[in-house]
């Protein structure tokens, strides 16, 4: 498989906190559209397009599909066919935390679950190791020591190179960072929180802490699952059939596309047009305006969306007037 020889010329790479790891400003996640029923040629085209554009990071989790596990299986097959020769040019992550198999050991933050789940993920993807392994969510029922000790074990075993946490709130994250420091365990290299114009919690409850501990931030759902694009702006049918909101099993449902939400996106889209960007591009650029954000993980349903998003990484400066207008529309 031949890839674009100029793939490293336009995508900026940003350091994950104070680690040695560089991430593409735009990463690709496989939560949606890489499952068993999805068109495999389209999956292949999306991965190829991403890599051709310098997107060197693919983000997975044990439960991505549907059914859970199928995104990793599909990725593993496409990986072997197209990318195996490029292993050292790519960063692959996976996670465990949400329900994956029945019984008491198929969910949460226990050592039993995390270690077993990563072994299964590696098998499904046909990889010897992942680059980043995350605790996918905080588990208040499991001692933090056990979850972080499991991440440390996994890294020491060589099954992952870096450890990460996802969706930990500020105080819980600080506890985690202090715990690994106290035990001299593998540091937390990345935090993966949600962040977009409509969900700005990390500005007040995370970024100062990740910055203080030198931890990188890689944000998910930067387009608010597609809400921060122009697809719901049509004059009549606000829910196109080929949109995530039209998929009954997705987390984005038609009732979330309210008149108020659409009104805000219309105002934002006006700012985007003046910047010479699509709505999706501006939403993505906005998450990347803060240098503490190492990367934004997009999802996509086709290669064109990836092309549209990738260039957003080159236009991340905002004037004070633009920021004020965005703040007025979407306060933090």
Ligand X SMILES: NC(=O)c1ccc[n+]([C@@H]2O[C@H](COP(=O)([O-])OP(=O)(O)OC[C@H]3O[C@@H](n4cnc5c(N)ncnc54)[C@H](OP(=O)(O)O)[C@@H]3O)[C@@H](O)[C@H]2O)c1
* Chain positions contacting ligand X, by CB under 6 A: 29-32, 59, 136, 166-167, 192, 220-226, 229, 231, 243-244, 280, 297-301, 305, 308-309
- 98/182 with CB nearer ligand X: 98
Least distance from ligand X to the Cβ atom of residue 280, Å = 4
Residue whose pair of structure tokens reads 């970024």 in the numeric block: 207
User: Cβ 52 to ligand X, closest distance in Å?
Assistant: 16
Q: How far is the CB of 292 from ligand X (least distance, A)?
A: 18
Q: How far is the CB of 313 from ligand X (least distance, A)?
A: 13
Q: Which of 109, 106, 135 is nearest to 193 (CA)?
A: 135
Q: Cα–Cα distance between 331 and 318 in angstroms, integer?
A: 16
33 Rama sector, left if φ>0, alpha if ψ -120 to 50, beta otherwise: left
Q: Return the number of the residue (149 or 164) whose C-beta is nearest ligand X.
A: 164
- Residues 139-149 as b/e (b if ≥16 CB within 10 A, e otherwise) read beebebeebbb
Nearer to ligand X, 27 or 110 (CB): 27
Cβ-based nearer residue to ligand X, 113 or 220: 220
We find the least distance from the C-beta atom of residue 184 to ligand X, in angstroms, to be 27
* Closest to ligand X by CB, 55 or 223: 223
DSSP 75-141: HHHHIIIIIGGGGGG-EEEEEE-S--SSSTTSSSS-HHHHHHHHHHHHHHHT-S-EEEEEE-S--TT
Taking the least distance from each CB to ligand X, the nearer of 79 and 156 is 79
Q: What is the CA radius of gyration of the chain?
A: 19
CB atoms within 10 A of CB 181: 12
Alpha-carbon gap, residue 29 to 60, rounded angstroms: 6
- Provide, rounded to whole angstroms, the least separation between the CB of residue 314 and ligand X: 15
């Amino acid at each position: 498989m031949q890839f674009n020889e100029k793939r490293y010329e336009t995508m900026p790479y940003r350091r994950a906190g104070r680690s040695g790891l560089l991430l593409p400003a735009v990463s690709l996640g496989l939560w949606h559209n890489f499952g068993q029923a999805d068109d495999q040629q389209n999956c292949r085209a999306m991965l190829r397009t991403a890599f051709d554009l310098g997107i060197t990071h693919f983000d997975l989790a044990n439960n991505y599909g549907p059914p859970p596990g199928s995104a990793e299986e599909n990725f593993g097959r496409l990986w072997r066919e197209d990318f195996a020769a490029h292993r050292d040019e790519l960063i692959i992550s996976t996670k465990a935390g949400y329900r994956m198999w029945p019984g008491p050991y198929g969910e949460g933050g226990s050592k039993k679950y995390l270690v077993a789940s990563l072994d299964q993920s590696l098998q499904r993807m046909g990889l010897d190791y992942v680059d980043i392994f995350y605790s996918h969510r905080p588990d208040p029922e499991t001692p933090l020591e056990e979850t972080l000790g499991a991440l440390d074990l996994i890294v020491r075993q060589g099954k992952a190179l870096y450890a990460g946490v996802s969706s930990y709130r500020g105080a819980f994250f600080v506890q985690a960072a202090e715990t690994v420091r106290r035990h001299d365990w593998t540091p937390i290299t990345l935090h993966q929180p949600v962040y977009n114009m409509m969900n700005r919690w990390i500005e007040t409850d995370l970024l100062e802490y990740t910055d203080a501990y030198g931890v990188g931030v890689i944000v998910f759902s930067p387009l608010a699952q597609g809400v921060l694009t122009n697809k719901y702006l049509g004059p009549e049918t606000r829910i196109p059939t080929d949109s995530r909101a039209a998929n009954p099993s997705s987390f984005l449902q038609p009732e979330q596309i309210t008149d108020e939400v659409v009104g805000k996106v219309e105002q934002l889209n006006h700012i985007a047009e003046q910047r010479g960007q699509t709505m999706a591009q501006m939403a993505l650029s906005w998450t990347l305006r803060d240098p503490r954000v190492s990367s934004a993980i997009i999802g996509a349903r086709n290669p064109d969306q990836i092309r549209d998003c990738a260039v957003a990484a080159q236009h991340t400066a905002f004037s004070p007037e633009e920021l004020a207008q965005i703040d007025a529309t979407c306060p933090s």
